[in-house]
Structure 1
Amino acid sequence: MNFPTWAVAGFWGLVSGSALLIGAAIGYFLQVPQRLVAAIMAFGSGVLISTLSLELMEEAYEKGGFDATAIGFVGGAAAYTFANWLLARHGAKHRKRSGDQQKQERASVNSGQKEATDSGDDNGMALAIGALLDGIPESIVIGLSMLAGGAVSMVAVVAIFLSNLPEGLSSAAGMKKAGRTPQYVLLLWAGIMVISGLSSLLGYTIFSGFSDNVVAATMAVSAGAVLAMIADTMIPEAFDVAHNFTGLITVLGFLVSFVLSKMGE
């Protein structure tokens, strides 16, 4: 049975996003050592960096040339950085941290709010928006990867799945220490998983009729946003615990993604 291409795009976006929910469940209900969380985070960072370099940016360059790719890449990074800066001011700076940073940040935000005793969850919305900010560009990548020949890039799916797992794991571990309920954590990441599937679907359907230059710029925007996310959130969490081993583990993740990309040729 042949399914519509847009449905396939949504399905693979959902699959890659499911790693967020799986990781969140593991991080919340199991006692995962912080060093292991940091190692997985570093590995996922290497996988994503390799995928951005060898798959996404290369495809964007072939479609739209240097100008569209460069403008989109820098624009995506700038947009993510600005949005991340705004979220940090509202209590979502440490959303991917697995230690006590989220707990301290939540207490700091609540202490500065007059209505804190009524709501008790002043940075909850910032956390949710931050999770969306991190997840949507990755999912759009999957939909865009299908525009060339109608087949999904399994390298991109595997890379995003491998990077999403430690993101959900680390963030949920930190949320638990900050006093978040399991219902809050699991519903948040389940929602992000669904939105990931929709983002992938929209990435394919919306841009299927656009010119190569527009598609190239959009791919580069996603790449720039994801790379900025890695540098701002994933690498700091990994280095904070793994320290001198972070670079080596990141390189191993890069190598795995490189091998997968060559196997898919």
Structure 2
Amino acid sequence: MELLAAGGWGLLAGSALLLGALLGYLARIPAGIVASIMAFGSGVLLSAVSFELIAEAHERGGLLATAIGALAGAVIYTLANVVLARRGARHRKRSGDQQPSETEQSGSGTAIALGALLDGVPESMVIGTSLLGGGSVSTVTVLAVFISNVPEGLSSASGMRRAGRGAKYVFALWAGIAVISAGAAMVGYGLLGGVPGPVLAAITALAGGAILAMIADTMIPEAFADAHLWIGLITVAGFLTAFAVSHL
């Protein structure tokens, strides 16, 4: 039952990508609003990584395991992101005209899809690991991933539309990633249940490091592109919202 619960929570958080994609593809939402939502989502994720992932990893395994895991996650994400960026996925979260079309760069659609997986899998796995030990799922983690996924899907789908990608491709992509998110949460719960505390701490921190790298590399630049001087205030509002929820 816990395994199915992990999958259900992962699917719920991942479904926000599809919701955002629907809004971004079908509606003409001003770039400033998209950027503001992205900044808020960045703040929420930063809070979740700080107080739910890194803090929990430190409590379970100590500073060394946490530092090694976080650095490893950042390195893995960055290297994978560099490879995908060279194949056309660099601006996968951008809502403007930055995304290349398939004509401009062959294979960019596949690279964007893989990039979306790269962004989403670590978030979903930590939802599954939060259920380990017989406790309830981390509400803050699910909330953070859900809130951040809406602007991610919204901004990316808007950019895909501008690059000439059809609705079938866009919605199939995000629906598929929502399903994979459920699977990643189940993997996080099913495969990591019996590992020693320091190992689980390192894996949790690894996901945290990957998410931090993703925020810095894709979400904050997109927010800054249009929110400009308001990005700091909006990001702090998101951070404090998640922090308040964690203390309810």
TM-score by length of 1: 0.92
Deviation at 1:109, TM superposition (A): 1.9
SS at match of 2:240: helix
Task: Determine the structure 2 residue equivalent to 1:21.
Answer: 18
Contact kept in structure 2, 1:91 and 1:106, CA below 8 Å = no
Q: Which amino acid aligns with 1:15?
A: L
Q: How does 1:67-216 map to 2 (within 5 A)?
A: 67-103=64-100, 106=102, 108-110=104-106, 122-216=107-201
One-letter amino acid of the structure 1 residue matched with residue 164 of structure 2: G
Q: Deviations over 1:234-257 (max 9, x none)?
A: 000000011111111000000100
Corresponding position: 1:242 with 2:227: yes
Q: Which residue of 1 aligns with 2:42?
A: 45
**Alignment RMSD (CA, Å):** 0.9
Candidates 224, 237, 245, aligned match of 1:260 = 245
Cα distance in 1, alignment partners of residues 247 and 104 from structure 2 = 48
Distance (Å, rounded) in 1 between the aligned partners of 2:214 and 2:177: 16
Shift of 1:107: 5.0
Aligned-partner residue type, residue 134 of structure 1: D
User: Does 2:213 correspond to 1:228?
Assistant: yes
> Which SS does the other structure have where 1:207 is aligned?
coil
Q: Tell me the distance in 2 between the aligned counterparts of 1:134 and 1:257.
A: 20
Match of 1:12 in 2: 9
- How far 1:106 sits from its partner (Å)? 5.0
CA shift in 2, pair 1:142/1:123, >3 Å: same
Distance 2:150 2:204 in 1: 23
3-state SS, counterpart of residue 224 of structure 1: helix
Residue 29 of structure 2 aligns to a residue in which SS? coil
Q: Distance in 2 between matches of 1:48 and 1:148?
A: 23
* 1:29 Cα deviation after fit: 0.3
User: How far, CA to CA, are the matches of 1:68 and 1:75 in structure 2?
Assistant: 10
2: CA distance, partners of 1:183 / 1:19: 18
Q: Secondary structure at the match of 2:105?
A: helix
One-letter amino acid of the counterpart of residue 136, structure 1? V
| Offset of residue 148 of structure 1 | 3.0
- Structure 1: 5+ residue stretches without partners: 111-121
% identical equivalent positions: 58
Structure 1 residues 176-214: Cα deviation after superposition (integer angstroms, max 9, x where no partner)? 000000000000000000000000011000000111111
Q: Bigger radius of gyration, 1 or 2?
A: 1
Match of 1:119 in 2: none
Q: Distance in 2 between matches of 1:34 and 1:99?
A: 8
How far does residue 150 in structure 1 lie from its aligned partner after superposition? 3.1
Q: Which residue of structure 2 lines up, in the alignment, with residue 115 of structure 1?
A: none
TM-score of the aligned structures, taking structure 2 as reference length? 0.98
Q: What's the counterpart of residue 114 of structure 1?
A: none
Q: Distance in 2 between matches of 1:73 and 1:9?
A: 23
Provide the C-alpha distance between the structure 2 equivalents of 1:28 and 1:109, rounded to a whole number of angstroms.
Answer: 21
SS at match of 2:144: helix
What is the aligned residue count?
248
| Amino acid corresponding to residue 237 of structure 1 in structure 2 | E
